Structure 1
Amino acid sequence: MSARTASGLAACLTLALSVAAQAQTAGPSPAPGHMPVPGMTVPDMAARAARRFPQPVRVGDLAGRLLLQPEESQPVLGRVTGLVRRGDGALEVVVRLDGAWGLGWLGLQRIEWSGFGPRLVAVPVEAVALLGEHVALMGLTPERLRALPSLAPDSVAEIPPDATIRVGIVRPFH
């Protein structure tokens, strides 16, 4: 091989390695449009939810679904237990947060919040979307979810399981 060919080959190899190194360099990535924005209000959540092609779903079919964080690893944040209507008519999804003493010690998927023992919180229906057999938290950050007050059952009316509501859908996050 001639010296000219060897130097050309070395230059091409150097260029290829530098391009590959640049492609793997970590940098700030823009927040995807599906990620919750800190400080979103219910009207903001409703506007985003209306763009998610709301589909009819039976309330009883939502109970038992896992509530997932909208990122590729899809951590479990809680479990849907039902739906309620507040005094002002707003619909909310009831989510059970298991806490540090959840069922992880039984080998089941751990559902975590910062306290001890389970507690129920009410999440606006506009803040969630259907993700296959799961529900994704779209309008709240996990920190805001954990900061929600515990649900007072006497302050809301339970929606019957055979009632139908409309919930947006979302595509997988990976």
Structure 2
Amino acid sequence: MGLRGQEPNESTDDDIWRDLVARLEGTESTPTRTDSPGRKVTPAAEPQEDPPSEPHNAAPTDRERADRIFRNQPLQRRGPRDHDLPEPEPEPDGDDEDDGFVPEEPPPLGTGDPLTILAWVGAAGGPLTLLLFAMFWRDAPLAATFGILALFLAGAGYLVSRLPKHRDIGDDGAEV
């Protein structure tokens, strides 16, 4: 024995852990040693198990062990989604549609202010074109590079100038 009364390699935690796991799995745990002279580690009372519907000699599957663990709980709790919704009664006028909010039809794609679309092409396409020039056409003319840079600056400047200048007092700026 060491200074604290137990050898460093002797652990009561391992036996307790094995006993706990065995009780949760519903299997018989066998104590391997005693804690102190004259006192033997014994497992607690085994939980009541339902008789199996099919007799089999194989070890229980993971699903059966999990069912045994959760079936052994004192009270099954019900969550917010564990309730039955009442069936909606049909309306007497026969109108099954909801009279709530109906959004307006969105505008078709490709419509819009042509100048704004051109500004987006310049603002997004300018840096992308400059990146492609840097990777694949290293000796591109300086005039082409400056022209693309000017298109980017013009498109970004136009888009910034189109931003709203003022906000309403209670408006946070979010739009759907």
TM-score w.r.t. the length of structure 2 is 0.16
Greater strand share, 1 or 2? Answer: 1
Q: Which is helix-richer, 1 or 2?
A: 2
Give the TM-score, by structure 1 length. Answer: 0.16
